[in-house]
Structure 1
């Protein structure tokens, strides 16, 4: 399975793809081994794992032969509904709107993670960052078993990085980028239900990906483009097109995570009464940076790859 370079890619060489299958496999095997030592939450086996496996199968197929966006969307809705519908949570009719928002948010995060998987190490390092932070939050919230699963996800992403960074010998592919988005959305959902992970913290953890992907999509929609089709208009893709190396782009994004997002997460944990305000301010800073990048670097101009 080969990913060929093109106007929608940020690479100049044909590269094998679908390597994320090993990442998903390692997570599954690790959790099976963990179950022999400590009882993992039913939520993982009943709610999360079936969705992860189905998304991996569809993603593997999409890496080999393109699957229609409609089919992929239907599958994403099914696994999201499964995640919520089979949870032992009591929802009344008045909660229909809330449930719908949760389901759409899960679907959106899956696609955001897939959109942002277009530069060496980008999805892998974000997986390490998000997995470690969520593991720490679960541990602090008394959810040790779920913390181990989040840690396993972070470790699997770290194990994949030598194959994908600094030089990409293989791409992750949809086989794991979409399941990773689903897993982090599922962790957030579980954390909200158990009280071990607040909504503001969940947004902060994925804020760098969320801002870039969401604002880029909105900008394309406002320009009358077919926003639902593949493109190379994200800030990180534009930077690469303008001559930045994959390493430089990765350092920029993870520096934002480490020096901006992580301190705000710590502060929001210590002062939860100000968490919403902190999230709003952080998103405003990131959105301003996105806007400046578009303005100063000519992000709306036609992309030309070297």
Structure 2
């Protein structure tokens, strides 16, 4: 690791660790708090909006990577990602502070994705404009996936760390320094948030943080796809999040339930209902995401038999996750029967 790359990572980590000292009392004075609802996995009001600190850490670190000359090739890609991330985080902050209608939120998310993808297509390859609708939908989809999945302590911070590390490794393997830098910054910034989210007097990311997480991952993924990075590198670390979100929405749609109403039907939420703690579930989601990520990295470049085996392994991991609440519920019943 070069000294400049290490410096950028340390700045992202350090700012994310230190800024909450200032941001937390400010959020308290502004009354930015999370009030438990039907979707909540906590029972007390908690300060939210700490994603502001993580956003500043990511944006400063990305600017530093440009200012120091660390990223001298494909500088515009980092700049576009930076703008997309800043726009999404701002949207999330408005949602935290004032609230927005579903229509306005969805339109703004699609706009961030569309404008960002147009800028990327213009920079990378003018023939890629047909990707604009795909990019818009991808960004909006993952912003909402990250928002839906941000319901227990540790899960978003760990997700940012694991996806960031995989993306950084993908940059090394693809010889694309911008991707190495962006992935490292993502991982370091969310690693710095974890002590605040898991420690005593914990705080939440809020919409500003979940929008930030989703937009950063989606912006990096869309950029990587247009830049020729293997799809498996970009998609495999986020399969668990996507599978949980998609299957939950399908299940609720089949029941005729309004998709925008708060609920506790996600797989990770049902896992906490089996008796597992927040950190246990967050670790499970993270480990399984790491397994699908590793499988994707293998399948991207391996010979056909090994690639197929890796893909089947990733599918089995996703299936195991989706079925896991039943497994842990059965184990809990057996323990209860044994203790009776």
TM-score for both structures, normalised by structure 2: 0.79
Question: Is the Cα contact below 8 Å between 1:30 and 1:152 reproduced in 2?
Answer: yes
Among candidates 33, 53, 57, match of residue 64 of structure 2: 33
Larger-gyration structure (1/2): 2
Q: Which residue of 1 aligns with 2:314?
A: 282
Q: Which residue of 2 aligns with 1:301?
A: none
Q: Which residue of 2 aligns with 1:122?
A: 155
User: Take 2:205 and 2:227, find their aligned partners in 1: how far apart are those partners?
Assistant: 31
Question: Is the Cα contact below 8 Å between 1:121 and 1:166 reproduced in 2?
Answer: no
Question: Is the Cα contact below 8 Å between 2:244 and 2:266 reproduced in 1?
Answer: yes
Matches within 5 A, 1:219-238: 219-238=251-270
Question: Is the Cα contact below 8 Å between 2:77 and 2:178 reproduced in 1?
Answer: no
Q: Which residue of 2 aligns with 1:304?
A: none
Q: Secondary structure, in 3 states, of the residue corresponding to 1:226?
A: coil
Residues 37-56 of structure 1: per-residue CA shift (max 9 Å, x gap): 225320221x2222222221
Q: Which residue of 2 aligns with 1:144?
A: 177
For residue 235 of structure 1, report the CA deviation from its aligned partner. 1.2
Please list every run of 5 or more consecutive structure 2 residues that lacks an aligned counterpart in the other structure.
1-31, 331-340
Cα gap change, 1:32 to 1:288, in 2 (>3 Å): closer
For residue 166 of structure 1, report the CA deviation from its aligned partner. 5.2
User: Take 1:181 and 1:255, find their aligned partners in 2: how far apart are those partners?
Assistant: 19
User: Take 1:186 and 1:225, find their aligned partners in 2: how far apart are those partners?
Assistant: 31
Please list every run of 5 or more consecutive structure 1 residues that lacks an aligned counterpart in the other structure.
299-306
User: Take 2:101 and 2:275, find their aligned partners in 1: how far apart are those partners?
Assistant: 32
- Which gives a bigger RCO, structure 1 or 2 (Cα 8 Å, sep 6+)? 1
Deviates more, 1:57-66 or 1:264-273: 264-273
**What is the aligned-residue RMSD (CA, Å)?**
2.3
Among candidates 193, 198, 223, match of residue 165 of structure 1: 198
Q: Which residue of 2 aligns with 1:208?
A: 240
Deviates more, 1:157-166 or 1:47-56: 47-56
For residue 212 of structure 1, report the CA deviation from its aligned partner. 0.8
Q: How many residues align?
A: 292
Cα gap change, 1:217 to 1:168, in 2 (>3 Å): farther
Among candidates 90, 94, 113, match of residue 80 of structure 1: 113
User: Take 1:271 and 1:125, find their aligned partners in 2: how far apart are those partners?
Assistant: 28
Question: Is the Cα contact below 8 Å between 1:216 and 1:233 reproduced in 2?
Answer: yes
Question: Is the Cα contact below 8 Å between 2:171 and 2:180 reproduced in 1?
Answer: yes
Residues 8-33 of structure 1: per-residue CA shift (max 9 Å, x gap): 20112211000010000011111222
Q: Which residue of 2 aligns with 1:246?
A: 278
Q: Secondary structure, in 3 states, of the residue corresponding to 1:13?
A: coil
Residues 76-117 of structure 1: per-residue CA shift (max 9 Å, x gap): 11111111112222237xx74x54233212211111111111
Deviates more, 1:119-128 or 1:5-14: 5-14
TM-score for both structures, normalised by structure 1: 0.87
Q: Does 1:44 align with 2:75?
A: no
Cα gap change, 1:158 to 1:289, in 2 (>3 Å): closer
Cα gap change, 1:283 to 1:68, in 2 (>3 Å): farther
Among candidates 126, 137, 157, match of residue 90 of structure 1: 126
User: Take 1:58 and 1:75, find their aligned partners in 2: how far apart are those partners?
Assistant: 8
User: Take 1:106 and 1:145, find their aligned partners in 2: how far apart are those partners?
Assistant: 19
Deviates more, 1:27-36 or 1:289-298: 289-298
Question: Is the Cα contact below 8 Å between 2:152 and 2:278 reproduced in 1?
Answer: yes
Cα gap change, 1:291 to 1:10, in 2 (>3 Å): same
